[in-house]
């Protein structure tokens, strides 16, 4: 157990809809990163938040957005869902930007039909 939780465990959405995924970091962890893991692939970095501000972004379009809250929780929002957005979404928290280790949550499985 890493102390990082994600909700929901899985969900099904229709193309064009919007979705919000949630992550609860370990207490005191100021940094959270989100990753997309397509089936049979390694995770791909979406973006990172540090102290409630975006601090780096991967090659994902603006319809992927996030929020980080003072209570160590965070959200990943995806608008205008596409079929290719079907994947496992992982969040990972760390104490600070320079921390060597990231602690992953169990992920949310999103299926877009």
Partner 1 sequence: AQTVTQSQPEMSVQEAETVTLSCTYDTSESDYYLFWYKQPPSRQMILVIRQEAYKQQNATENRFSVNFQKAAKSFSLKISDSQLGDAAMYFCAYRSGAWGTNQGGKLIFGQGTELSVKP
Residues that bind partner 1 in the complex, under the rule CB under 8 A: 2, 31, 33, 35, 40-45, 48, 50, 55-58, 88, 90, 92, 94, 97-102, 104-107, 109
How far apart are CB 88 and partner 1 at their closest, in Å?
Answer: 6
Nearest to partner 1 of 31, 86 (CB atom): 31
59-76 residues labelled b (16+ CB within 10 A) or e (exposed): ebeeebbbebeeebebbb
CB 78 within 8 A of CB 18: yes
Nearest to partner 1 of 14, 42 (CB atom): 42
């Amino acid at each position: 157990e890493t102390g990082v939780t994600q909700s929901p465990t899985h969900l099904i959405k229709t193309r064009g809809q919007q979705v919000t995924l949630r992550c609860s970091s370990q207490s005191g962890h100021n940094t959270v990163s989100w990753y997309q893991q397509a089936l049979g692939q390694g995770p791909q970095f979406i973006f990172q938040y540090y102290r409630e501000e975006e601090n780096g972004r991967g090659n994902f379009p603006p319809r992927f957005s996030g929020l980080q809250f003072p209570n160590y929780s965070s959200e990943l929002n995806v608008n205008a869902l596409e079929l290719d957005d079907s994947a496992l979404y992982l969040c990972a928290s760390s104490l600070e930007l320079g921390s060597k280790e990231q602690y992953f949550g169990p992920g949310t499985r999103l299926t877009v039909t």
